[in-house]
Structure 1
Amino acid sequence: MNGISVQTLVVSLAIVAAGFLGAYLLFHAVRWLGRKADQGRFQIDGILLRILGPPMSVLVALGSVNYALYRIPQVQEQFGEWEGAQRALLILTGTWILASLVKNLIREYGLPLAHRTDTDIDERVIRLLDLTVVYVIWIAGILIALRELGIEVTAFLASLGIAGLAVALAAKTILSNVLAGVTLTADRNFRVGDRIEVGDFIGDVLEINLHKTVIRTRNNEIVMIPNDVLGKEVIINHMLPEQKTRIELTIGVAYGTDLDRATSLLQALLRTSDRILSTPPPEVNVTTLGDHAIVLQVLLWIDAPRGKRAVRDDVYRRALSRFAEAGIEIPFPQRVVQITEGPRDET
């Protein structure tokens, strides 16, 4: 076996097996202790145990592999030919442990705190932090390991900068959507659950993701709008500054109708609706003298923007019934066609 004794090889493999077994047992023991700590008075103990569990298990496993390899003289000679190889390996191991520790810390401690806030802006920041910090740690660890191996990292950094610029240009739309999503989430005039109108779409905001906003339309359709599009569009929020919303209706009555009586009938039926608010009071105004009818404008307020069509339908149906009972005519367009005879041909 290339000069490696069977005894040395068996002992090294036994050390590796023992190390992985110990890492497995340590991982599950820490998880069990974390669940026990969650039931105690201080939940921070359980959080810390869950954070430290995976890195500690990885450290035990990698430590056993490292020790097992360096027990073999031939492996030591191979690593000795490349100066700094051992330090580079230890640095990469430490980078792995640190990245796992930070990632678990953010997920176990940062996300629960973000969930307790009124808006999800903190949650977005935490998720971005979770993504970027781990990459930064790994890049820093790799650069330090390369330096320990005697590799010049200046040219590598320059190439990395050029590559980063190219990636940033290629991901311009994605970055634009992410920044717009953070801005929308921080905006107090735009919240999950609001009914908004954007372009041809009217619907309720279901969620604001990192790159798109999801709304459910009145037709129960899911529409996903890129955040950078929302940042450029005019957004009408039907639930701000408050949910109270005005509805405008028009009803035509025939010329010669007693307008005071028609107004009283409309005011009376508007007062009997549960959805129509008494403050501000409903209004009935003459808005147009049309070519076939006097057009009455009805302005009323309801408690929420949802259900406008139902309220409009109810008012029209009851107005039609009440006007019919009172003998008030709602005319339809009429056109008078006059036929005249042309001059007779006496020839």
Structure 2
Amino acid sequence: MEFLYKTFYGNTILEWALAAGGILLSLLLAKTVYWLIGRFVKTITDRTENKFDDILVDMMEEPAVFAMILTGIWYSLHLLHLNDLAQTVLAKSYYVLIIFTVSWFVTRLFDAVVETYLTPYVQKSEGKLDDQLLPIVRKGFKLSVWAIAIIVALDNAGYDVKAVLASLGIGGLALALAAKDTVANLFGSFTIFVDKPFVIGDRVKVKGYDGFVREVGIRSTRLQTLDGRMVTIPNQFVANESIVNVSSEPSRKITMDIGLTYDTTPERMEKAMTILREIAESHPDTEETIVTAFTEFKDSALNIRFIYYIKKGASVFGTQNAVNMAILKRFNDEGLEFAFPTQTIYTKEG
């Protein structure tokens, strides 16, 4: 028993053991609470019709468990006799950790509110401006909370916040030079938001990529290409590039060159152009504007230029397939022969 009362660094072995045991107990208790939340509390919330409690529990369990661990360590360390410097460092460190834990709790609570109420509302709304604005507001709120948390933490840790801000002002030029790309991306996102060259869900062509806009953030814009891959493009490039908004087209223009053989008579050429107009006019997904013209005498074909327009929202490939199949069938029925590259060679006996 005398061994337990031997002193090391101002505390007996018993006091060190009690402090270590308290820390270990707080860790085990936090682990148990985390397990109980996952096993029982989430089971109860899953049975309720309201989804907010499910998301709230999922978002809050980690900050709550971390707060329990901090509390257990705090009381355990207070069992020790620490000098003034150690107590000061410990107190300031705990102030900082508590502030960060509260900030963590607030940001995750905000995420729960957004996931439960704002995101479904935005998805149901007809306009797409809110779809574009919500991610920016979400990230802006989090940045604001953490910025305030850092300032408050520095103040509670004993630093002169005014002096820190003043020093940041002196080094602002160097910071601006180092963060010029970040600032350019920020202004790029503002330009995109004001000019509105596209909205969430539009198909665009920019920087050589063709895809659908999935997210417009503070720093970058994310596109999902036609092959399903995600591409992240910094907003400074998006704002300075020529953007083709495919989704804004009123209709899709389809241009075809159909070649018939050289033995086709003028009457048969007229018949071919009449058939093309009839096919385009009869399809429900094509517009009234149709162009057919005998445009060129090619090397091995008499060329007909055929232009029609597919209505916005209609299946482009489906309409093209239906029109092409109808052309093939009608031309075969009428005996109109498609030309293919040929070459006639005349020989002369010497």
Q: TM-score, normalised by structure 1?
A: 0.70
**Among 139, 146, 149, which residue is 1:135 paired with?**
146
Q: CA RMSD in A?
A: 4.4
CA contact (8 A) 2:52 2:116 kept: no
Aligned to 1:145: 156
Map 1:117-132 to 2 at 5 A.
117-118=122-123, 119=128, 120-125=131-136, 127-129=138-140, 131-132=142-143
Q: Measure how far apart 1:241 and its partner are.
A: 4.8
Q: Measure how far apart 1:181 and its partner are.
A: 5.1
Alignment partner of 1:159 is 2:170: no
With over 3 angstroms needed to count, the CA separation of the structure-2 counterparts of 1:21 and 1:77, relative to structure 1, is same
Partner-residue secondary structure (3-state), 1:234 = coil
CA contact (8 A) 2:285 2:310 kept: yes
Aligned to 1:257: 266
**Among 66, 80, 90, which residue is 1:58 paired with?**
66
CA contact (8 A) 1:30 1:50 kept: no
Take 2:318 and 2:56, find their aligned partners in 1: how far apart are those partners?
52
Q: Measure how far apart 1:104 and its partner are.
A: 1.7
**Among 103, 107, 118, which residue is 2:107 paired with?**
103
Alignment partner of 1:22 is 2:29: yes
Alignment partner of 1:325 is 2:335: yes
CA contact (8 A) 2:292 2:304 kept: yes
Q: Measure how far apart 1:98 and its partner are.
A: 0.8
- The residue type paired with residue 88 of structure 1 is K
- The residue type paired with residue 216 of structure 1 is T
Aligned to 2:12: 5
CA contact (8 A) 2:310 2:316 kept: no
Listed as ranges, the gaps of 5+ residues in structure 2 are 1-7, 345-350
**Among 213, 232, 249, which residue is 2:240 paired with?**
232
Aligned to 1:204: 211
CA contact (8 A) 1:205 1:214 kept: yes
Take 2:272 and 2:199, find their aligned partners in 1: how far apart are those partners?
42
What is the total number of aligned residue pairs between the two structures?
321
CA contact (8 A) 1:121 1:186 kept: no
Deviations 1:310-335 (A, max 9, x none): 5599389739955982589999999x
Q: Measure how far apart 1:27 and its partner are.
A: 3.0
Listed as ranges, the gaps of 5+ residues in structure 1 are 335-347
Aligned to 1:213: 222
- The residue type paired with residue 133 of structure 1 is S
CA contact (8 A) 1:214 1:223 kept: yes
Alignment partner of 1:247 is 2:254: yes
With over 3 angstroms needed to count, the CA separation of the structure-2 counterparts of 1:86 and 1:264, relative to structure 1, is closer
Aligned to 2:92: 88
Aligned to 1:190: 198
Take 1:306 and 1:191, find their aligned partners in 2: how far apart are those partners?
22
Aligned to 1:170: 178
Which shifted more, 137-146 or 122-131?
122-131
Take 2:229 and 2:75, find their aligned partners in 1: how far apart are those partners?
60
Aligned to 2:317: 307
Deviations 1:89-133 (A, max 9, x none): 442132122122023213333244453223542552255236513
Q: Measure how far apart 1:157 and its partner are.
A: 1.9
User: Identity over aligned residues, as a percent?
Assistant: 19
Take 2:222 and 2:86, find their aligned partners in 1: how far apart are those partners?
53
